[in-house]
Structure formats: C-alpha cells, structure tokens
C-alpha cells in the first residue's frame, strides 16, 4: 500500500497547530525533522493536547499508542497518513 502524502496546505496547517498547541509563536522554526519533545516548553500534557487537536483538525483517529511514536514533526505527518490509509482500507 502506498503512503499518502500531505499537501503543502495540510503541512502548513499541521505546523500552525503545533505552534498554537505548544505555545511556540512564530519565532520557532518548524521542519519535518524538528524534534517535537525538544521544542521550548513541551511537556506530556501539551503533547497530548496537540495530538487531540491533530485528530480533530485532520479528522483522523490516532489513539493513545501514537504518543510514544511521536519524535519528529514527520512522525506526526506519518501517523495522519497511516490513519487515513487504515480508514480507506476499512471503507473499501
């Protein structure tokens, strides 16, 4: 099964969510390889809130097992894509 990729608009949306939920403001540079847990002020509650916002914003179900899988921003993108693929395979 081929992994779906996020559009540039969706990637911008994800970066905005990260900035908002982790209280980063616009100064912090966010790249695919950014280590989420090393961003300023990140703690487990903020990470949980971020993943909840990702679920709502992208209409996906990540589940609690996603928490330890998140190291980089790319990991969050991959979780979104994986969730979409799982949904698509259940529907078809």
For 42-59, write each residue's pLDDT tens digit. 998 999 999 999 999 999
pLDDT at 1 over 50: no
What pLDDT is attached to residue 46? 93
pLDDT at 90: 86
Assess if residue 42 is contained within a domain.
yes
Query: What is the domain extent for residue 41?
Result: 8-91
- Tokens standing for residue 61: 């179900």
Phi, psi of 35 (to 5 degrees): -80, 110
Domain CATH code at residue 13: 1.10.1200.10
Q: How far apart are CA 15 and CA 20, in angstroms?
A: 9
Task: Output the CA torsion sign for 16, 18, 22, 24.
Answer: negative
Mean pLDDT of 12-35: 91
Q: Is residue 2 part of a domain?
A: no
Q: Is residue 81 a part of any domain in this protein? A: yes
Domain count along the chain: 1
Residue 31 in tokens: 């790249």
- Whether residue 63 is contained in a domain is answered as yes
Task: List helix spans (H) across the chain.
Answer: 8-21, 44-58, 73-91
Residues 19/30, Cβ–Cβ less than 8 Å:
yes
3 located within any domain = no
The whole-number pLDDT of residue 25 equals 80
């Amino acid at each position: 099964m081929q992994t779906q990729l996020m559009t540039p608009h969706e990637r911008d949306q994800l970066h905005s969510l990260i900035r908002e939920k982790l209280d980063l403001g616009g100064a912090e540079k966010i790249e695919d390889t950014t280590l989420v847990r090393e961003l300023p002020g990140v703690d487990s509650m903020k990470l949980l809130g971020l993943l909840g916002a990702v679920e709502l914003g992208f209409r996906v179900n990540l589940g609690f097992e996603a928490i330890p899988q998140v190291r980089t921003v790319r990991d969050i993108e991959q979780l979104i894509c994986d969730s979409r693929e799982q949904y698509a395979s259940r529907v078809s």
